[in-house]
Amino acid sequence: MALPRTPSFRLDSKRALVTGASQGLGLAAAAALAEAGASVWLCARSADAVETAAQSLRADGGDAHALTLDVTDLEAVRRTLDGLEAFDILVNNAGTNRPKPFTEVTPDDYDAVLDLNLRAAFFVAQAAAARLIAAGEGGSIIHISSQMGHVGGQNRSLYCASKWGLEGLNKAMALDLAQFGIRVNAIAPTFIETPLTRPYLEDETFRAQVLSKIKLGRLGQVEDVMGAIVFLASDASALVTGTSLVVDGGWTAE
């Protein structure tokens, strides 16, 4: 009897682009993809930081390249991606947060968070998808969303608005791009200890509140998301599109 075989999680010969890749979740995503065999382009605004990150991956045996790019500069995004070979995998990770009470949010706060978390994500994905369509190849686009794209959070009106928007974009993109063999999915992590979240988690009261919501009883680490990245990038998820993989330790289960 011929037995079924698990589809490969390997990404050999694949090209991947990761935004916001100089640290935190972005660097972890790039490391996971490189470990699985992909040629990875790390994208960030800081030339020094992204080159250091790429050098670290190369020192670990990965095929890594640094790409200095501000993803909020939409013309630069289009021009840069048009000048490169199509990427089989995009991890739309660049993001920010300005937590404060809803009544204190300013237009500048709104623009800073929504422009990066949603507007830039939209047009980076559009540019990457256009190159894949022109190449006549399928691919995988992965948005780094958040559990806050599934629930509300105090002092997080902007972040929730951006991530709920990203979750909606994720589903609509999946419908539009399925005909081209391009899969689109999101990963929605809980609080992961990264340079972005560390200042907030140093507040012991806030940290205790977060831990009370995470049913597995601990904060997330970047390693907790790396497997999800490889799964959604690989043939192991060949029939998965338009969904959100929630990596939240049980936060949204109740």
- Asked if the model's pLDDT at residue 137 lies above 90, the reply is no
Q: Is residue 250 part of a domain?
A: no
Q: Which pLDDT value is given to residue 196?
A: 81
Q: Residue 194 and residue 196: Cα distance in Å, rounded?
A: 5
Residue 223 — pLDDT band, cuts 50, 70, 90?
very high
Residue 34 — pLDDT band, cuts 50, 70, 90?
very high
- Asked if the model's pLDDT at residue 195 lies above 90, the reply is no
Number of domains in the chain: 1
3-class SS of residue 106: coil
Q: Is residue 4 part of a domain?
A: no
Q: Which of 200, 239, 233, 251 is nearest to 92 (CA)?
A: 233
Per the annotation, the verdict on 110 as an active-site residue is no
- Could you say which of 87, 159, 191, 251 is catalytic? 159
Q: Is residue 177 part of a domain?
A: yes
Q: What is the CATH number of the domain that holds 28?
A: 3.40.50.720
Phi, then psi, of 169 in degrees rounded to 5: -60, -40
Q: Residue 181 and residue 204: Cα distance in Å, rounded?
A: 46
β strands within 87-126, DSSP E? 89-92
Q: 89-92 and 139-144 as β-strands: parallel, antiparallel, unpaired?
A: parallel
Q: Which pLDDT value is given to residue 27?
A: 98
Q: Is residue 125 part of a domain?
A: yes
Q: Is residue 6 part of a domain?
A: no
User: In the chain, what are the helix, strand and coil shares in percent, each to the nearest 5?
Assistant: 50, 15, 35
Q: Which distant-in-sequence residues (6+ apart) come within 8 Å of 60 by Cβ?
A: 31, 34
Helix residue spans in the chain (DSSP H): 24-35, 47-59, 74-82, 107-114, 121-135, 157-177, 198-201, 204-213, 223-233
Q: Which domain holds residue 205?
A: 15-245
Q: Is residue 62 part of a domain?
A: yes
Q: Is residue 65 part of a domain?
A: yes
**Percent of the chain surpassing pLDDT 90:** 96
For residue range 120-133, list pLDDT tens digits in order. Answer: 999 999 999 999 99
- Asked if the model's pLDDT at residue 36 lies above 90, the reply is yes
Round the average pLDDT of the chain to a whole number and report it: 97
Q: Residue 129 and residue 86: Cα distance in Å, rounded?
A: 8
CA 195 to chain CA centroid, nearest Å: 16
Q: Is residue 197 part of a domain?
A: yes
Give me the numbers of helices (H) and strands (E) for the chain, helices first please: 9, 7
| Pair of tokens at residue 254 | 């109740």
